[in-house]
Amino acid sequence: MKTVHVSTGKPYDIHIERGIIDRAGECAKALSKAQKVTLITDTNIAPHYQWRVLNSLSAQGFETKTHIFHAGEESKHLGTIAEIYKTLADFHMTRRDIIIALGGGVCGDMAGFAAASYLRGIDFIQIPTSLLAQVDSSVGGKTGVDLPQGKNLVGAFHQPLAVLIDPDTLNTLPDKFITDGMGEIIKYGCIKDAAFFEFLEKENALRHLEDVIETCVSIKRDVVSRDEKEAGERMLLNFGHTLGHAIEKLYHFTGITHGMAVAIGMVMITRAGEAKGLTAPGTADRIAALCERYLLPTSDDFTAKALAEAAMGDKKSANGAVNLVLLKEIGESYTYPVALEELEDFIGE
């Protein structure tokens, strides 16, 4: 088992181990005095894994309840949260009881938000089952839900009691979800770790998933521990995301995954950086080649105007400027503020 310790305000461990899903009960027992556990999962994941988690919880004497919501981003709204609250209240969950989030990013975000707000906050354990959630959204304590006006507009920072990552859960995923995670994995190499980027260039990441997950989670842990509330360094994690979010928006969030959009965003912003002399020449080509190797797209036909307009709605914009994340070279990143009215010109062409 690999363990990554996270020392945020409330410290916790991320355990990475094949088959750890069957030890969820043991882990919960070691960390909590709960009597009851509500397992929150979705219709894709429940048939594969809910009984394994429930059996391990029952074996440790926990009383359990399962809440299953319809899989997909369309479920990520306050109506689903209200249904989760009803399950928790009807099951008479108290402040000492815990939630387990079993699923991808949508599940972790919503179950985490329910845990952050029910009875003003109860503990929860994350069992992320998608590659994207394992390397990215399960670290950092961000929880939340979409509003009709935009994604993740309501939420809270709430650190889990523990994160249990079982790489075997990836075996049941369709390929596009693996590709989705690869976008964020390549991002970590770009922003912080040239040696890891070279490893991804030389090896097949999918054959070394435990190591790859450990590296990504450790990088994110380091960044988040230094900047829990996203005031500075944490912005580097948004590399490729300003344009990536704009692209997702222009696609109306269908037909393109987050990781695909981030891949395009990373390549585009790095090309723009090179054109302005802010990034070492050849960097964008290297990122593009690596993305293509993992079947990620690297360009799109949207105009700079359309991208800039879509990006301006981004909630991360502040004071009439957007903080772009640029690379000096592979492995070294920095933020670069650009006035909103100059964004279109910066993206270029």
17: left (phi over 0), alpha (psi -120 to 50) or beta: beta
3-state secondary structure of 65: strand
**Catalytic site residues?**
120, 142, 184, 220, 230, 234, 238, 241, 245, 258
**Exposed/middle/buried for residue 13 (C-beta within 10 Å: 0-12, 13-18, 19+):** middle
DSSP states of 329-349: ETTEEEEEEEEHHHHHHHH--
**Per-residue tokens: 254:** 């269908």
Q: Who's near 34: CB < 8 A, 6+ residues apart?
A: 28, 62, 96, 97, 98, 123
End-to-end CA distance of the chain: 49
Q: Who's near 242: CB < 8 A, 6+ residues apart?
A: 265, 269, 311, 314, 316, 322, 324, 325
**If residue 258 lies in a helix (H) or strand (E), which one and from where to where?**
helix 258-275
Is 176 in contact with 297 (CB distance < 8 Å)?
A: no
Nearest Cα neighbor of 331 from 188, 158, 203 is 188
